[in-house]
Amino acid sequence: MATILTGETLQDLKEGDRITYHGVRWQVCDRSTYKDDKGYTTQEWLLKSTTGKEYYLLQETDPSNSEGSVQWYLAEELQHPTLLNPETQEDVLTRIPERMKLRATPYPALQLFNRSYQFESQTDGTYNADGETRQRITWDYWDKSHLWNLALEGWDNGVLHLYSTREVQPEEFSEYITASELRFWQSSAYTNQLSESQAGFESREIQFIVAWGLVILGFFLMLAGV
């Protein structure tokens, strides 16, 4: 039976570790941290499958939440989507980076893939990854049912990233394997394979010697007229 994970286990994920989500194995390829001066913090892990699919696992701690609870999300980056202003049906995607740079008021609503999202919150803080610190502004939108989140991330270099996000629970993940365990198993598998290959070679070598011995014996018996 697969081991079900907890939030504490997911918090310890490191680069090279592996977990399973809905039957698919995901490798942890990166880890980063985001926080603002109000205490909002996000831990982010980049997950990749063997087919090249990518998701971000997010752990969000929001001090404005009266319960002080931690939320978990799974986010997929959207490549060049059409992002509409519902009031005008105009694609406003290319205008957002400049609006973020000027600290302009976010659009009150946006439409993506025939789903409407309402603006809920904005964060403005520092993002740390691989020892590098950068500024990032995030506009968060939610659909009416509050099941799907649309996150717009604007960076200090003018680049904009969009993510479609939904809430997940730590219990949905299983089969946590650390990077060191993976290296050990891979090394052991290689050693076993090498041993089996060597054993197979030695076995074939013995068979070859025995076969030639029988041939030579038969030859001498033939000469002797036996």
The pLDDT of residue 181: 84
The pLDDT of residue 194: 46
* Cβ atoms within 10 Å, residue 213: 10
DSSP structure string for 15-68:
TT-EEEETTEEEEEEEEEEEEETTS-EEEEEEEE-TT--EEEEEEEE-TTSTT-
Flag residues of the chain having pLDDT under 70: 1-2, 66-68, 184-226
The pLDDT of residue 190: 46
Please provide the average confidence, as pLDDT, over all residues in the chain: 85
d(CA 38, CA 186) in angstroms, rounded, equals 44
The pLDDT of residue 25: 94
Tell me if 126 sits within 8 A of 134, measured CB to CB.
yes
The pLDDT of residue 217: 57
- Dihedral pair phi/psi, residue 97, rounded to 5°: -55, -40
